[in-house]
Amino acid sequence: MVAAAIIVDGRLLLAQRTRPPELAGLWELPGGKAEAGESPEDALRRELREELGVEVSGGDRIGDDVPLPDGRVLRAYRVELVSGTPAALDHAELRWVDGRELGEIDLVGNDRGWVPDLRLHLNGW
């Protein structure tokens, strides 16, 4: 599983989940699941195209891998917007948060451990 930290002008892009019911309403770094034979970087580019309608580049890791209950890991990458304006094509809503807001918003549990690393790149904390 891969997730993207898109940071512009000291703010991080978060996306609000619509599903499953127990995660709906919570905020996450956008991303998703790599398909068979797909590299994490390719999976992230595809997911961001599908979910946000944007093209991204880069892909330095940020934060630690998060082990998931099913044995997979969730890995975050810092990426740069190359083209397009993020749109909530698969989420309820998008929000750009600064470091203070990141500490106050209801993140999905899997993403919470990344907050200290993410904050180092954000304004306002």
Q: Specify which residues 81 forms β-bridges with.
A: 56
Q: Is 13 in the site for ligand C5P (CB under 6 A)?
A: no
Q: Rule CB under 6 A: say whether 6 interacts with ligand C5P.
A: no
CA separation for the pair 95, 16 (Å, rounded): 8
Query: Which residues contact residue 120 at a Cβ distance below 8 angstroms, ignoring those fewer than 6 apart?
Result: none
Cβ proximity to ligand C5P: between 33 and 100 the closer is: 33
Instruction: Return d(Cα 6, Cα 11) in angstroms, integer.
Output: 8
From 31-39, 56-64, 78-86, 92-100, give the range in contact with ligand C5P by CB under 6 A. Answer: 31-39
| Least distance in angstroms from the C-beta of 125 to ligand C5P | 20
| Cα→Cα distances 11→5, 69, 96, 97, 111, Å | 10, 30, 5, 5, 16
Taking the complex as a whole, the smallest distance from the CB of residue 32 to ligand C5P amounts, in Å, to: 4
113 binds ligand C5P (CB under 6 A): no
Decide if residue 48 touches ligand C5P (CB under 6 A): no
